[in-house]
A and B are shown apart, each in its own frame.
Chain A
């Protein structure tokens, strides 16, 4: 009988010990918020909304439940954190301004990766984040869904370096270059009698030089990085709209009724998703202004599959990204040579600077 009780104690004690050990292991530290990342189709972030106060530490205990995700907070300089499957990591945030912040996934985790968004509502006193900035496209009342084809096209890629040897063109009325499309600027140059001696292509090269002068190496580098991190999966590294996720969007357009809810071959869901824009298409791009492109990035494609980036990028990042998009139309580098390299972008003063943004 003593042996029997020994056996029972062994089993009962072992089971209870395991249960206690488990309870200790899975206990969430006091004050911490447990944040789990899953692919958007499986729920995205859990929880999707977090509330905290200005100045109070917010401890996040995070993990991924499927593949590698990245955690970052929009419009924040804080670097992204990788969340590895099955591994917990903890980070503490302190917000100094109230407002609604967006946290998002920075890893291309699946076709609906961009839907992995959540919000942190920060209450308290102080100037609210994102409250005082009205995007240019709204101030201009641009219709972002309006077609904007260019009726003038260059015969070849406009190359800024080729314009360096040309006489300075007579600029149009000036104004904010961000509100004008390259085609508009080209037409203005073409109309001016002084430019009559220049060919159409030479004027396009002049336009490229004007656009080059309106940016900087640093901004192009920043925009390029943002593009590769956030846009290339759909639009492609070369901007042709042939990124690895593009198939999902195009599969939807081919198989599903227009305007209807559909899921593409790779699972990209949305209303009327369309093929990603081809930034190398001059008819499409040269008719768009920088403000228009920035508006598209901020607002997204409204169901076309194009995410909205307004809560993610700062205004400076947005303009840098737009600057990078022009590199799919304009050649700022070739022909510049070693000596010409220093004359590219804004540090070249050889061209008239129409009011750069």
Chain B
């Protein structure tokens, strides 16, 4: 199966060799290839000397990752050994309020998978796999097996996210559970690194990485090659196979064929290993990846439904007035929790896709589409990506400003033992922007709906002329409107 962003399959560019190839030739030794061309209208951030230096050097990235690792360890330690009271535990506040805020409001919309490039979870596994922390080497540990072909999709990530989602009421509020989940991520990532090549955990298993990938298609930052001809002519493919300058793409992508952000971890290894300086870090319009019909897949389509549905479910459980629903969500292992989990899974995997399928089918009938239903369904599901991201931003706004003040006292006294490290231990809970948040949420949702409607129309335009495209898109737009109205009701009304 051909993957998006990959030419053919990984085999077309050589077998995996643990991320570090045998090509040790320096740039000066390389044959002359066609010069790199400008990256169209996109702005190459690497043209700025400071950014070029910062992004090419491994030290800035390492330092940020070490800081993130420290945060990760603090979250785990305070989760395990600090108070079990969620809003007084730094682990909970750090992960589910501070990190989540940065992730959903800044990192994801503007930098896509930027977080993945500094994520500390795969760090220990990579260290073992590469035999080095800074510059990858060939003598690392592990079996370096190829990831099983049948799982080269994000269905496992969809399942992992769904599993976490139905337990989220507890995961998000109980520090020890949060710590255990974080440790589980860490150890699964280490185990995966020791068995499989490269960052298989990040690419195929990480539940967070799954949705970051989906929504990174909207980000204005992307890594792309400047000139594909240069890549074609470059037989060594050091960006994929690795070289003395660095590892082959940890995300198992061939940058020369990169068309979407979905699976690019923005780790900058290809920037470092490309001997022809043919990689650009581009600044482009928001949502540019959605304009390309290439690489649309059913697993990604379902990721969109899972994320949109999860935003609705979270809003209902955590912000809604339904006590019985809350109790069921918290009572993990009980009969009522199983009923809740079953209902949630049916809702996000059955009801939402079913409604959307009905809308897509209606549009096809109206416009006289000749595409298969499956193809239309998959294509139009990408119209939900903007609405999904905006739904998560709106949901996050509901608690971020209300709860961020829990950070001040917990930072000063992470273990609740009477410390006052930053002089903020007595800072009381203080919600911010309480009057503005509903308006902000409404604006965000309206923006998401508009963006989705425009995207749906554009997708319809790939097959039809103006009027027919509008006819085909109309039911999908109505469906998006219903989803938006539901979210508006759950979050604001």
Contact = CB atoms under 8 A, between A and B. Distances in A.
Interface of A: 3-4, 7-8, 10-11, 14-15, 18-19, 22, 25-26, 63-66, 85-88
Contacts of B419: 25
B85 A64 contact: yes
Interface stretch (B66-74, B296-304, B459-467): B66-74
Contact of B416 (A3, A18, A88): A88
Contacts of A25: 81, 414-415, 417, 419
A22 B81 CA distance: 8
Contacts of A3: 59, 134-135
A18 B74 contact: yes
Interface in B247-279: none
Nearest to B70: A14
Contacts of B415: 22, 25-26
B414 A11 contact: no
Contact of A7 (B73, B82, B134): B134
Given A14-B66, A14-B70, A18-B73, A26 B134 contact: no
Given A7-B134, A8-B133, A87 B70 contact: no
A15 B414 CA distance: 16
Interface string B75-111: 0010001111101110000000000000000000000
Given A18-B70, A86-B85, A7 B133 contact: yes
Contacts of B343: none
29 contacts: A3-B59, A4-B133, A4-B135, A7-B62, A10-B62, A10-B66, A11-B66, A14-B70, A15-B69, A18-B74, A22-B77, A22-B415, A25-B415, A25-B417, A25-B419, A26-B81, A26-B415, A63-B83, A63-B416, A65-B83, A65-B85, A85-B85, A85-B88, A86-B83, A86-B88, A86-B416, A87-B83, A87-B416, A88-B416
B83 A85 contact: yes
Contacts of B69: 11, 14-15
A63 B133 CA distance: 41
Closest 7 CB pairs of A and B: A86-B88, A86-B83, A85-B85, A86-B85, A25-B415, A7-B133, A7-B134
Contacts of A22: 77, 81, 415
B417 A26 contact: yes
B418 interface: yes
A12 to B, nearest CB: 10
A7 B57 CA distance: 13
A66 B85 CA distance: 5
A16 B417 CA distance: 20
Interface string B126-161: 010000111100000000000000000000000000
